[in-house]
Chain A
Amino acid sequence: MRTLFAVVNALLGLVLALTPFWLAPVCSQMAPHGGPMKCYYSGLFIAGMGAVVVVLALFALLRRGRGWFAVLASLVAVAAAVACLLVPNGVIPLRGAGWVCGLCGDPTHACRAVTMPLVRKIAAAIVALNVVSLILSFVRGGR
């Protein structure tokens, strides 16, 4: 069961990582000042979080005997999926020198109309899968 969860987690993480630039790309235009737009940085963040989910799921697969690692991987996967919703929407502000994560103001633009709806669905699936995995870890122990 734990192996199955890790495999599905890795697949969902992979889809999440591929979404912002390959499966449902964010807006490709440049910002008025010439640099990439906020949704581009949000895309990078989402791709990074997807990669984290994949790496942890693969580690959990390799360390099947260590139950605590599966629990840790599930907790991080839930946090990463939720962060993929909170950071682009500005609930958790993330910015650096010359860049800021966010979405375009116009609801018809690709980042809000195409990318985020898909990200929301994948994030919800990751959260649901890992919550079930966490409960099973609790009720089944080392089995």
Chain B
Amino acid sequence: MAGAPLSMAAVARKNIRRRPWRSFCLVLTVLLFAFFLYAGTVLSISLSGGARSTADRLGADVIVVPAGYDPHIDSIILSGKPSMFYLPKDILERLRDVEGIDRMSPQTFLATLRASCCSYPLQIVGVDYDSDFIVRPWLEATLGRGLKDGELIVGYRVNGEAGERLHFFGVDLPIAGRLEQTGMGFDSTVFVTRKTVTDLAKAAENIFKHPLANDGSLVSTVMVKLKPGYDSVKVAQEINRRFGDDDIFALFSKKFVNSIASSLTLVSWMIRGGIGLVWLLAVIVIALLFSVTMNERKGEIGVLRAVGASRGKILALALTEALLISFYGAVLGTSLGAAAAAVVSPAVSEALKLPFLLPSWRALILLGVASVTVSVLTGVLSALFSARRASRADIYDTLRGN
């Protein structure tokens, strides 16, 4: 009868198939561990990446908003939730007297309406291109030129490519470019000049009355950059002391980034705790199942030893079984973890209300290789103790099945 040569792997495979239910449980255990390891690590890294991106791009030291609207600015920056609010008209003149301010740049917000099945409310941000220090460097890096009146730049998640046109309030505007992914609300925001935002508000008058249509000088937020050596907390407190009664509120952006960081730390620890728990369970279950398997196979091991198999061969056979089971479970688990990370990432980011930025493809592949390696090592090392004990047992005792 022709058959495959009886190599170590072939014998190990036969042993695995002799106890299908136990082998199934072992593969499933490694699979679950690899799944949680990969998906959890990707989730944790994506949250850290999002927070880093927010901190890097939030170049203002102080953000001035109307009093009571600071949660709205959080929503705009984090999730791009459309909001409209306006500061008193003379805000820039008033802030000029505050000591420590180096540069100021006003921004004007306009929220769009749902127009058709495929359109949904978006945040339009009008930036003052001459004074801007937040969006402009980022736009110029993407666009390679300045932003003209009447054209727009779309965030990563907004539908439409450069050269196509978007329709807002009956006005068609050409898309000049698309921004890179940030993991923040900017991904679902449209940027235009402040003149364009005023023109859009005028066009919107057919649908609803808008204060911006009558007064193009309205400002939603003022981004403030401080002179070197000035403390953003103290300057924000000074602005609040002076103008707090006039519905003006200054928040220092560090506070905002700090609140993200503290939420992130908590979530990261929960993810790490979950991975640690699953790892511990995987080690215990694999070690137990292997121990039971080896105990049950004492007679078989004794026969193998009696016909000349060395202790090393017995050890190698047991470890090959563990390696095959672990490798199969690790590859399946990591693949499922990758699919789950891709599918549930947007929902997780929405649920946690934290910025979210997936790592690059290269990093994801490297993480996958690392996840498979760690899972295989966990499986093999968990089986090592039982394998060593089986290989060291006395031939006479093992043949008697003791």
Contact = CB atoms under 8 A, between A and B. Distances in A.
Contact of A105 (B24, B119, B328, B346): B119
**Which of B17, B20, B23, B339 lies at the interface centre, i.e. has the most chain A CB atoms within 10 A of its CB?**
B339
Interface string B324-364: 00001100100010010011001000000000000000000
Given A27-B117, A134-B332, A138-B23, 10 more contacts: A31-B118, A37-B117, A89-B343, A91-B342, A131-B332, A135-B31, A135-B328, A136-B20, A139-B20, A143-B17
A13 B119 CA distance: 32
Contacts of B120: 104-106
A86 interface: yes
A82 B285 CA distance: 29
A61 B32 CA distance: 29
Chain B contact residues: over half helix, strand or loop, or mixed?
Answer: helix
Interface residues of B, number: 27
B7 interface: no
A141 B13 contact: yes
Contact of B20 (A27, A104, A140): A140
Contacts of B24: 135-136, 139
Given A102-B159, A105-B120, A106-B114, A138 B328 contact: yes
B336 A127 contact: yes
Interface in B290-325: none
Q: Which 8 A-B pairs have the closest CB atoms?
A: A105-B120, A139-B23, A139-B20, A82-B339, A141-B17, A85-B343, A29-B117, A140-B20
A134 B21 CA distance: 14
Contacts, number: 70
B116 interface: yes
B27 interface: yes
Contacts of A140: 17, 20
Interface of B: 13, 16-17, 20-21, 23-24, 27-28, 31, 114-120, 159, 167, 328-329, 332, 336, 339, 342-343, 346
30 contacts: A27-B117, A29-B117, A31-B118, A32-B116, A32-B118, A32-B119, A37-B118, A82-B343, A85-B343, A105-B120, A127-B336, A127-B339, A131-B332, A134-B332, A135-B27, A135-B28, A135-B328, A136-B20, A138-B23, A138-B27, A138-B328, A139-B16, A139-B17, A139-B21, A139-B23, A139-B24, A140-B17, A140-B20, A143-B17, A143-B20
